[in-house]
A and B are shown apart, each in its own frame.
Chain A
């Protein structure tokens, strides 16, 4: 029997992560990466932020966003290396690096989001 290829699952994660990251990341980068550091607008108070961020539902959703975005990025970066640098012969190493990285960071995300309160 032919071994089942993981490719369909990887493409599914890629596109799910593509949708999720396109919907939520631009505003999150703007808020957390630019507006809060520069103190734009009425920067939210720490009390409000910690109540929102540490809420169990937020942490669950954040976990989903992180994992899907990571696998999206890993898949796309794999093809960046294949096509951009034309190093397809390093197939296995690239796969290990990209998806391995996504798995390690996902585990960290899960651990972090479970343990904070």
Chain B
């Protein structure tokens, strides 16, 4: 689709109305869509936060405590609270979508959607439990 057809005087004009810039406010489903899309910015923020955390830990106890004090700042706390909402929203919508994206066949039978969803949620529980154990010290 790289080559554009040459413009001619007889080229038809499409009857297309440009949707409003705020089209995603019109329906709940659209709002859910844009919420899911916006989770990306909060994921990027948290990667930065995670790296700053690692850096603070590596620089010694005092620097780590400074980081903890900074992380208690209301702006940072609110941002992380919103981030928690968005990453959970991302996770839930991602796992619900998994059966549509993954078609697994066992022999000639297709694995039912519920099995795929359940295994994804199972993996989530395992990963969460493992990280809780690892960080909180078993």
A interface residues (Cβ-Cβ under 8 A, vs B) = 15, 18-19, 21-34, 36-38, 41-42, 44-46, 48-50, 52-54, 59, 62, 65-66, 69-70, 72-77, 79-80, 83-86, 101, 105, 108-109, 112-113, 116-117
Contacts and interface: CB of A to CB of B under 8 A. Distances in A.
Contacts of A74: 40, 44
Nearest to B91: A22
Contacts of A116: 54-55, 57-58
Given A24-B131, A27-B132, A70-B47, A113 B124 contact: no
Nearest to A21: B43
A76 B40 contact: yes
Nearest 3 pairs of A and B residues by beta carbon: A33-B80, A116-B58, A76-B40
Nearest to B62: A46
Contacts, number: 161
Interface of B: 18-19, 21, 24, 34, 37-41, 43-44, 46-51, 53-55, 57-58, 61, 64-65, 68, 71-72, 76-77, 80-81, 83-84, 87-88, 90-91, 94-95, 101, 123-124, 127-128, 131-132, 134-137
Contacts of B81: 33-34
Given A49-B64, A50-B58, A112-B51, A28 B136 contact: no
B51 A108 contact: yes
